[in-house]
Structure 1
């Protein structure tokens, strides 16, 4: 009788490729964890400005601060706030 050599199936290859991608993503996230982000998210900005969700919504809709959305997540450029503080002489 001939022995079957075990060759990886398509599912196993796919799983291995996905694992590799996830490991690379995890590595990249861990490296960026120490770096300052270029953007604030809603939670960061609410904490920074000490405002509620509804107040942040009103500020955003009045176009007083720049923002953009990726999916359902909203981001605010950190540089806008740094420049604002520099203009006010705080930084």
Structure 2
């Protein structure tokens, strides 16, 4: 029994390392405010409210805000699944 648990732990560790390495290989694509407003029909004030409420992840570079594309893709998928 102990050997089986040890083998499972080793396999789990291997899978975790593999997932982490795959995630590190992917470069995050970022969208600017204009992209978000066009794709999701958000107003500037809605983006501002979401940022100040820390409801969406973002980063600011200079005077521009950028948002991770994967976050909004997941958000869309959730909405599609909820609409079913």
Q: TM-score range by the shorter chain?
A: 0.5 to 0.7
Bigger share in helix: 2
Q: Which residue of 1 aligns with 2:8?
A: none
Could you tell me how far apart the structure 2 residues matched to 1:38 and 1:44 are? Answer: 12
Aligned to 1:64: 55
Q: Which runs of 5+ in 2 are unaligned?
A: 1-27
Confirm or deny that 1:44 pairs with 2:43.
Answer: no
- What secondary structure, in the 3-state scheme, does the structure 1 residue paired with 2:65 have? strand
Match of 1:54 among 36, 41, 45: 45
* CA deviations over 1:12-65 (Å, ceiling 9, x no partner): xxxxxxxxxxxxxxxxxxxxxxxxx81110101111221221121111111111
TM-score when normalising by structure 1: 0.51
Specify every segment of 5 or more residues in structure 1 that has no aligned partner in the other structure, as ranges. 1-36
Q: Quote the offset at 1:75 in angstroms.
A: 0.3
Question: Which structure is richer in relative contact order (CA contacts within 8 A, separation 6 or more)?
Answer: 2
